[in-house]
Amino acid sequence: MAVPEFHALETPRLRFRRFTIADLPAFLAYRNDLEIARYQSWEHTTEPEARAFIVEQLHARLGTPGSWFQFAIALKSTDALIGDCMLHVRDDDPRQGEIGYTLARDQQGQGYATEAIRAVLAYAFETLSLHRVIATVDCRNAPSFRLLERVGMRREGHFLQHAWYKGEWCDEYLYAMLRSEWREGER
């Protein structure tokens, strides 16, 4: 199936677009917030790393098997960057994908992450026609796994000492949703 070129998605309060160099200060601010990085694979991001990431994402093609595409999440009213949401389409089975997300600390608790994940799941299932989408989350990150449950994803697994982050082994939960479950939830 041919995937249309990605330009932007919109929800009532958010705009999902490609990153721009103008996003660099906001991107660096939340990527270097220790509390935000606590359950992420990264600890900090340098300015050269952030610039390289933004340039790479300017040329990324959403829906390409094996690739990771990062949506810039911006407030619709101001276009200010408040976070990002990742969508990965598996190389070995392009009918399946994975999502991830990061939101600036001062933007949390306002429902933006719920709105963002629903929009990306809608794109994954309706535009890309994915069959299944997963997400993994550190078991200690209760706000994140509650978010996945709120959008209708179901917990499928509990992996013990599954990932090495910040000098220690951590447990992770696996969440998933099928396209049929998405459709059922949208009725």
Nearest to 149 by CA among 171, 124, 168, 174: 174
Q: Is residue 2 part of a domain?
A: no
Q: How far apart are CA 168 and CA 151, in angstroms?
A: 29
Q: How far apart are CA 154 and CA 136, in angstroms?
A: 11
Q: Is residue 56 part of a domain?
A: yes
Torsion 169-173-176-182 (CA) sign: negative
Strand partners, 16: 9, 73
Distance of CA 34 to the CA centre of its chain: 18
Q: What CATH number has the domain bearing residue 52?
A: 3.40.630.30
Q: Is residue 19 part of a domain?
A: yes
Q: Is residue 128 part of a domain?
A: yes
Q: Is residue 61 part of a domain?
A: yes
Q: Is residue 24 part of a domain?
A: yes
pLDDT band at 1 (very low <50, low <70, confident <90, very high): low
Q: Which domain holds residue 29?
A: 8-132
Q: Is residue 91 part of a domain?
A: yes
The Cβ of residue 111 has, within 10 Å, a number of other Cβ atoms equal to: 11
Q: How far apart are CA 112 and CA 116, in angstroms?
A: 6
Query: pLDDT digit string (tens) for 88-122?
Result: 999 999 999 999 999 999 999 999 999 999 999 99
The whole model's pTM is what?
A: 0.93
Query: pLDDT digit string (tens) for 112-158?
Result: 999 999 999 999 999 999 999 999 999 999 999 999 999 999 999 99
Q: How far apart are CA 145 and CA 124, in angstroms?
A: 20
The Cβ of residue 78 has, within 10 Å, a number of other Cβ atoms equal to: 9
Q: How many domains does the chain have?
A: 1
Query: pLDDT digit string (tens) for 152-180?
Result: 999 999 999 988 877 889 899 999 999 99
Q: Is residue 182 part of a domain?
A: no
Q: How far apart are CA 84 and CA 184, in angstroms?
A: 27
Nearest to 100 by CA among 89, 84, 115: 84
63 phi, psi to nearest 5 deg: 95, 0
